[in-house]
Amino acid sequence: MSVTTNPAAGEPSVEFTLQAGGEMAMQQELFDLATSLMPRYGDGWNSHSLVTIRRQSLSRFLHYDLLYRQMLPVPGVICEFGVQWGATLSQLISLRGIHEPYNHSRRIIGFDTFQGFVDVDEQDGGRWSPGDYSTEDGYEATLDRILTLQEGFNPLSHIKKFELVKGDASKTTAEWLERNPHAIISMAILDMDVYRATRDVLELIKPRLTKGSVLVFDELSSGDFPGETLAVAEVLGLNNLSLRRSNYHTYGAWAVYGE
């Protein structure tokens, strides 16, 4: 497990990793090379920067491409609960531009405190603390701009098709659903890691799921984040889900609701 600095609070923020020491040293060297090369790439910086993309990052993109293809026939919006720095949201916008560039009804909604975990319960295994996985103060404005730019490379960019919802998802999800009574959730990505928020969100979104909605879990069956599995078992029942996993993500699991 590595510890990085929390820019918002000036205190350590826990970032979990299973990397061995040698692998972490290689990652640091790759980071140093990436940051030194970036100013030298010129106009092709975005493509050239892929030279330093790691297998794990590429695998995660392939994982979400698989899930996006699974969801395509289902109408509705995509909700990601647990955004952090927004990499998945950015990938989803690109995948929408690839697979259904003119479907402006496929809005992408990201929910996060941007201040890390709000509550950590005993069901979460005792390793985590409030504030872990925070970003930096005001980062949601930066992310909003990044996602706007990403949309600008796709058709119908004059229509804003994403939304960031800041705050405790246990509360903001209910408020968002009330403001959007028409919204069907075609894909829900549960990446909040901890028990209470995952449980509350699942209970809130159940009435907006349809047969065929894709439920995505980022830490299912993980002993390091037991709260996610406990919440899914409590709200949905593990026996009621035909869980699947891809070859691209160790703990990533998904299910088609109603199957």
Distance CA 97, CA 181 (A): 26
Same domain as 62, residue 46: no
Give the domain range for residue 182. Answer: 55-256
pLDDT at 14: 53
Radius of gyration of the chain (CA): 18
Distance CA 30, CA 49 (A): 11
Same domain as 196, residue 69: yes
Same domain as 238, residue 171: yes
Write the CATH number for 207.
3.40.50.150
DSSP 3-state helix, strand, coil percentages of the chain (rounded to 5)?
A: 45, 20, 35
Same domain as 124, residue 76: yes
Same domain as 110, residue 146: yes
pLDDT at 22: 83
pLDDT at 210: 97
- The CA–CA distances, whole Å, from 101 to 81, 149, 184, 247 equal 23, 15, 19, 27
Same domain as 216, residue 157: yes
Q: How many CB atoms lie within 10 A of CB 162?
A: 22
Same domain as 182, residue 151: yes
Same domain as 204, residue 79: yes
Total number of domains constituting the chain: 2
pLDDT at 7: 41
The ranges of the chain with pLDDT < 50 are 1-12
> Which residue type does 97 have?
G
Same domain as 180, residue 115: yes
Same domain as 61, residue 32: no
Same domain as 173, residue 48: no
The domain boundary, picked from 53, 69, 95, lies at 53
Q: Specify whether the CB–CB gap between 226 and 199 falls below 8 A.
A: no
